[in-house]
Amino acid sequence: MPDVIVVGAGPAGSIAAKKCAEHGLDTLLLEKRALPREKVCSGMVMGEIAHTIIREEFGEIPPEVLTQPSQLNGYIFHTPGVGSQNLDNFTRLTWRRNLDHWMTQKAEAAGAQLWTGTRVTGLKEKGAGFLVQAEKGGEKQEVEARFIIGADGATSVVRKFLYPGLAVPYGQVFQELYRGELDLDKSYFHWFYPMEFSPAMFTAHRKDDLIVVDYGGPSGVLKKLMKWAREYLSQNHGVDFNQKPVWRGGCLQPALFRALIDHSFLPAKGNVLLAGEAGGFVLPISGEGIGTCFRSGLSAASAVIKAAETGAPADSHYFNGVQPMISAFEEMLPWFKKVITETRSGGHSLPQVVADAYGATLRTF
């Protein structure tokens, strides 16, 4: 019987599994997809936390995991008809399928056992531990462990087990990949906040031989925003939307900041801990999630390691570990209001306000 089951082999799950295995815990990592797998994401290693933890825990990102270009000088925020503002910030660029696969292989090399194609379907308390129910290759599986780390992303099954009635506010995001031209500086990532839609936005950047376009906002405006963005990018930056996209995907992003801050949502109960987006750990404003996944994944692993040594439940250790991140969320939240206020008052400084808001998220915690 493993000591700890980690559900989900994204950045939060891989780092948690790697750390637990390195400390000698018998660690089982369950992933529903075959690996490597696609993930709707821009694949940028952005903030100082993400850079530092990746270097310390996994090493330098190998060239085959990086894209062309392999790094960006930063981001440019555009409000069509108003202007643009740069925010310089050294950023590594990857495809998530490659980055995540590299990190999962590191977790395996540290001793974690990986079962891919294994979808967790339920969780039950059993004795002093838990029974994880899963489906693997069409067959039902049951595995027991004393500790569970739910790192199964935005719509986490483990979170539903802990909080079956929780109403999670979600943002909705679509991503499309195209071939051809994008007449924008490719050493920057481009965020567009059109006045008509702000704070909903779209982004465009070039990666390898593809153009990546993302659209994000509340579901009510997304259809109109996508139409507007395609017209704008085709007329002003040469993107050909008449072709079929090479790839298209969508996902949800949880917005649990406020519930984390006022403790109405606790990202752990006893020995079941939620890391990464399962626990709501994604930065307000920018939606950057790789660094927060690392921070919460590491905190979850160290809470499990301490609890295994002392016999006390892991949750209180975990709350202490993630509190600095939750306090940082609280300090970032007022920027949402500043972006909305600036939009409503005519948006003459919107690119500057948005750049300042993103700048405020690029900090350590």
Ligand X SMILES: Cc1cc2nc3c(=O)[nH]c(=O)nc-3n(C[C@H](O)[C@H](O)[C@H](O)COP(=O)(O)OP(=O)(O)OC[C@H]3O[C@@H](n4cnc5c(N)ncnc54)[C@H](O)[C@@H]3O)c2cc1C
Residue 51 within binding range of ligand X, rule CB under 6 A: no
Residue 6 within binding range of ligand X, rule CB under 6 A: no
Nearer to ligand X, 79 or 292 (CB): 292
Among 4, 5, 9, 268, binds ligand X (CB under 6 A): 9
Which residues partner with 125 through β-bridges? 130
Among 36, 38, 40, 131, binds ligand X (CB under 6 A): 40
Residue 295 within binding range of ligand X, rule CB under 6 A: no
**Token duo for residue 172:** 């909705």
Nearer to ligand X, 156 or 198 (CB): 156
Residue 284 within binding range of ligand X, rule CB under 6 A: no
- Beta strand pairing status for 147-150 and 4-7? parallel
Q: Which stretch binds ligand X (CB under 6 A): 10-18, 53-61, 317-325, 357-365?
A: 10-18
Q: Prior bond to 11 cis, omega within 30?
A: no
- Please, which of residues 73-112 interact with ligand X by CB under 6 A? none
User: What is the rounded distance in angstroms from the CA atom of residue 312 to the CA atom of residue 303?
Assistant: 10
Among 123, 173, 285, 322, binds ligand X (CB under 6 A): 173
Residue whose entry in the numeric block shows the structure tokens 């637990």: 20
Q: At 57, phi and psi to the nearest 5?
A: -95, -30
Residue 362 within binding range of ligand X, rule CB under 6 A: no
Q: Which residue is nearest to ligand X (CB)?
A: 289
**Could you tell me if 217 and 201 are in contact, meaning their C-beta atoms sit under 8 angstroms apart?**
yes
| SS3 state of residue 183 | coil
Measured CA to CA in angstroms, residue 269 lies from 7, 273, 278 at distances of 16, 7, 13
| SS3 state of residue 54 | helix
Nearer to ligand X, 38 or 185 (CB): 38
Nearer to ligand X, 46 or 342 (CB): 46
**Could you tell me if 339 and 353 are in contact, meaning their C-beta atoms sit under 8 angstroms apart?**
yes
Residue 10 within binding range of ligand X, rule CB under 6 A: yes
Name which of 39, 30, 5 is nearest 116 in CA terms.
30
Residue 31 within binding range of ligand X, rule CB under 6 A: yes
Give contact residues for ligand X (rule: CB under 6 A): 7-13, 30-33, 37, 39-44, 46, 50, 119-120, 151-153, 157, 173, 175, 214, 251, 253, 276-278, 282, 287-290, 293
